[in-house]
Structure 1
Amino acid sequence: MIKFLPVGGGNEIGANCYYLNINGNGVILDCGIHPQRKGFEALPNFNLIKEEPIDYALISHAHQDHIAALPFLVKRFPYVKIVTTPQTRALAELTLHNAVSILKKETTKEQFEFYTHDEVDLLIKMIGYHEYEKEFLISSFHNNKDADIKISFHDAGHILGSAGILLNNNGYKIFYTGDINLTNQAVQPAAILPDTKIDTLILESTYGATDSSELSDWQNEADRFAKEANKILTSGGSVLVPVFALGKLQEILATIWLLMKKGKLSQVDIFTGGIGTKINRVYDYNRYVVNRVDKESELSIIPQIDYSQLNSADEFFKNPSIVLASSGMMIKGTSSYDFAKQFIQQKNSAIFTVGYMDERTPGYLISKARKGDKIFLDNSDKPIEVKCEIKNFRFSAHSNREQLIEIVKKLKPQNVILVHGDEEAINWMGKKILKTFSGIKVYAANCGKEIVL
């Protein structure tokens, strides 16, 4: 018997964590925290599986909403074996240490006892890894041969090291897409799907509710970015681009540099900083061992100025410049949030958003504002007038909804379980799959609601 139980992130984007019991072999798929919640509320609900066997944790990629709860999982289930790709393991060393620093700022020991940097170091040593498409066997700790599972990772095209996970139990095949992208970005090429029929597909649904006309081709969006940026830069202003340190920074940095080299974008100073510059080096180190749009390009040699070395953000406005700062949603307390408060006051400058914004974040509020609007930040009683330009771009690292349907068409599953999407996204995906394909059962994942396959 195979049972699937969402422990977190079933019908939302955040705290992704899914439990599979395959003939007694307990497997966790991803183990993330919710970026918009605090304390225990940010974690997967491990109480749902406290009586279940927990043998392995397979991690699709190193974003916080897929990996940052691993230390809490290990504290709760100390014998769990963790496996991922070599690149995700390398990135985890950076992102998990960064999560420690963030948790210490945002939480108290009364909320929960957060883990230490020393514990992260020990955890990293515990993580096993396998390269893409190299099959390996995980066996139940209970000496049950019926529970043996052949596993392989498949390049998901989302960020460096990201993987779809194929599980084969005695010929029954389950494929978990993780976050998957079927189109090339500037650095990361498109996903490579497994070349086999799948019995159960666990499918992300991030953009299920988004009309694909809103998700432009990467190069077209890059050209639009250059056109709008040139208007600001040539008038003496500067541009703030909020980015996630892992994935989005590397892609937007490479996009900007390529535009500058082609003469499409004014050559100005580029400011970066924080953990993203360390992640750049991991991308460069792995460029010959993974798929890459251009294996010869190096992110670290692109001229960049470290904004953490500046005395104040006033430096951004002395000369035209482009500032790439995290977090991507301008969460309070991050560099992009602090810089945004100053950019808003600059009438010749601009804030360019480049990706998804959660409605509960300052980034969403700013992205919807226009010059002359008054918005409230910092829970202040006094609104701030928006004097800068606000422009929104979509450089997506996820498949659009038509591409997600193409995955179903190619893999021909009997069952589809929809995860990693809000209610509207999952409803659109479910209806489209049922209308397009006959004989497929579709399930919407809900935390705590078990699905028996």
Structure 2
Amino acid sequence: MEHFVKVKFLGASGVVTGSKFIIETSEKNILIDCGMFQGVKELRELNWKNLSVNVKEIDVVLLTHGHLDHVGYLPRLVKQGFKGKIIGTAPTLAIAQIILNDSAKINEEEAEKANKEQYSSHKPALPFYTIEEAEKTINQFEVEVENKWIVLSENIKYRFQYNGHIIGATFIELDINRKRFVFSGDIGRSNDYLLEDPKTPEWADYLFLESTYGNKLHPEEDVERKLANIIRDTIQNKGNLIIPSFAVERLQTLMYILWKLYKENKIPNIPIFVDSPMGNRVLDVFKRFPNWHKLSMESYNEMCNHINIIQSYKETWETIDNKRSKIVIAGSGMVTGGRVLTYLQQLIEEPSTTVLLVGYQAEGTRGRQLLEGAHEIRIYGKYYPIKATIISIDSLSAHADQQDLLNWVKNIKNIPEKVFLIHGEPTALDAFRVKIKDTYNWNVVIPKLDSIEEVMV
């Protein structure tokens, strides 16, 4: 007997962030990912609205991975009445716990600061969610293993499959009445420094495919040589190299590359500081789950011993006041918050400073402004002229590029009934739509935010 399944696109549709997809069936209502919108104000304001569905009717949340734009809305979901399980792999839930607690702490601190200094238009400024609300959400976490079919109901089962990108990340195969829905999550790259190559799907009736770099190929650049040159220039200029970094994966990758360069005598013994409380906790996840990455425990310990891990805000200021040339890796990766703002407030007006951007910079973020050559930057209500040199290394991205994405789908044996392109900006989505059409002649759809698709199963 044929049934209809409704798919609602509540995020990452026409935009990169805010991943949320609801699958409504006669047996279960399943939410795939539950992320926050990031970037321009218009998108961030969507976070404050309740979802356009009855949250109490959602039975389960399945998470592809632990990044904020895939898990950051969870406490709001719980606040709106969701009482079911939030399921992911063990490292994904460990990362999600770190990210939610950290995000809640930042939300509380920024609301308090905004109220004290009265620079917010909201009276009073409220945290998006509190530490207490984050903890309540974490209590609903449940671990499932990778590469095993889990039965949800009579005609519905799912499986997590290893996907690179960050530790614990997976794509999700969801079988409903023998039709397979594949949610790509964020797809990693082959030959990653720390992670194994992503697995690939072999069957997909309905494919939900990320398109972050759907219109781009990562440059064939020698990352190690470029980084070594930047470091030598920094030392010569008696300056500082500030690297805003995502706390999950990028920070650990940078640590590994810098340690490797030093070990191979490609850079001098310049002090390296990691200033990211969240990044430190993610390092611990690497220690707890050695089977999810390529780094041996011996290399892990050696790397951590070589690098100065900052433990307190007092140490942050001691590092800034230290006049020696140094490398500082600090959160956040898009310069939207975190410790990197303190360094930039003090050092971005110095011509001897270099700021190195090493990941995707969403529209509307300070990172995007720096990338596009802004002459000043606003931090906590004050403008700072940019005198520092701004450099970017694109090839350190943890996201698959257009060719990686095409390779990821090439082992699919059937012709999907529909391919939904998600998690991309409009230009990337459209370019990738044309590329898939030309390469595979598949039926490709670019869903709009809050659109609904009915499919037959």
**Please, what TM-score do these two structures have when normalized by structure 1?**
0.88
Q: What are the within-5 Å matches in structure 2 for residues 363-402 of structure 1?
A: 363-369=367-373, 374-378=375-379, 384-386=385-387, 388-394=388-394, 395-402=396-403
Residue pair 2:14, 2:429 contacting (<8 A) in 1 also: yes
Q: Which of 353, 362, 384 is equivalent to 1:349?
A: 353
SS in 2 for 1:216: coil
1:15–1:32 Cα contact (<8 Å) kept: yes
Distance in structure 2 (CA, Å) of the matches to 1:383 and 1:82: 42
> In 1, Cα distance between the equivalents of 2:24 and 2:360?
33
- Give the corresponding residue for 2:220: 216
Aligned to 2:330: 325
Contact 1:8 1:45 in 2 (8 A): no
Using the TM superposition, name which of 105-114 and 150-159 deviates more. 105-114
Give the CA deviation at 1:344: 2.2
Give me the identity figure in percent.
Answer: 25
- Structure 1 gaps of 5+ residues are 140-144
Residue type matched to 1:65 in 2?
Answer: D
Match of 1:90 among 91, 94, 99: 94
Specify which of 313, 322, 340 is matched with residue 336 of structure 1: 340
Q: Distance in 2 between matches of 1:90 and 1:109?
A: 35
Q: What CA distance in whole angstroms lies between the structure 2 residues aligned with 1:449 and 1:232?
A: 49
Q: Following TM superposition, by how much is the alpha carbon of 1:131 offset from its aligned partner in structure 2, in angstroms?
A: 1.6
Give the Cα–Cα distance (whole angstroms) in 2 for the partners of residues 379 and 119 of structure 1.
25
Distance change in 2, residues 1:275/1:311 (3 Å): closer
Residue number in structure 2 paired with 1:256: 258
Partner SS for 2:239: coil
2:243 to 236, 241, 257: 241
Supply the distance in 1 between the matched residues of 2:81 and 2:174 (Cα, whole angstroms): 22
Contact 1:343–1:350 at 8 Å: present in 2 too? Answer: no
**1:59/1:83 contact within 8 Å kept:** yes
Tell me which of the two structures has the higher relative contact order, counting C-alpha pairs closer than 8 angstroms and 6 or more residues apart: 2
- Aligned-partner SS, 1:49: coil
* d(CA) in 2 for partners of 1:33, 1:109: 23
The separation in 1 between residues aligned to 2:331 and 2:368, in whole angstroms, is 15
One-letter code of the match for 1:419? I
Question: Secondary structure of 1:417's match?
Answer: strand
The gaps in structure 2 that reach 5 residues or longer are: 112-121
Correspondence for 2:130: 116
Q: Which moved more, 1:307-316 or 1:70-79?
A: 307-316
Contact 2:107 2:130 in 1 (8 A): no
C-alpha change, 1:304 and 1:133, in structure 2 (3 Å) is same
Amino acid at match of 1:392: S
Give the SS at the match of 2:87: strand
Whether the 8 Å contact between 1:238 and 1:316 is mirrored in structure 2 is no
1:126-152 per-position Cα deviation (integer Å, ceiling 9, x unaligned): 21111210221112xxxxx3xx32211
C-alpha distance 355-3 of structure 1, shift in aligned 2 (>3 A): same
Distance 1:443 1:435 in 2: 14
- Tell me how far apart the structure 2 counterparts of residues 216 and 337 of structure 1 sit (CA, whole Å): 31
State the Cα deviation string for residues 9-39 of structure 1 (Å, max 9, x = none): 2111221111112344211010011123499
Question: Does structure 1 conserve the Cα–Cα contact (< 8 Å) formed by 2:18 and 2:36?
Answer: yes
State the AA in 1 paired with 2:149: E
Supply the distance in 1 between the matched residues of 2:22 and 2:381 (Cα, whole angstroms): 42
Note if 1:20 corresponds to 2:23.
yes
* Residue aligned with 2:286, SS: helix
Asked whether the 8 Å contact 2:58–2:82 carries over to 1, the reply is no
Residues matched between the structures, number:
434
8 Å CA contact 1:38, 1:106 repeated in 2: no
Alignment match, 2:13:
10
Structure-2 change in CA distance of 1:74 and 1:271 (3 Å): same
Contact kept? 1:14, 1:33, Cα under 8 Å: yes
Deviation digits for residues 314-367 of structure 1 (CA, Å, limit 9, x no counterpart)? 646521211001111212x53212212332233333111111112322222223
1:72: which partner in 2?
Answer: 76
SS at match of 1:337: helix
| Alignment check: 8 A CA contact 2:160 2:172 kept | yes
| Structure 2 counterpart of 1:432, from 409, 430, 435 | 435
* Greater alpha carbon shift after TM alignment, 107-116 vs 185-194: 107-116
- Identify which of 203, 207, 228 aligns with 1:197: 203
Given that 2:214 and 2:401 are in contact with CA atoms closer than 8 Å, whether structure 1 keeps it comes out as yes
Counterpart secondary structure, 1:5: strand
Tell me the CA shift for residue 106 of structure 1. Answer: 4.2
- Aligned residue for 2:52, secondary structure, equals helix
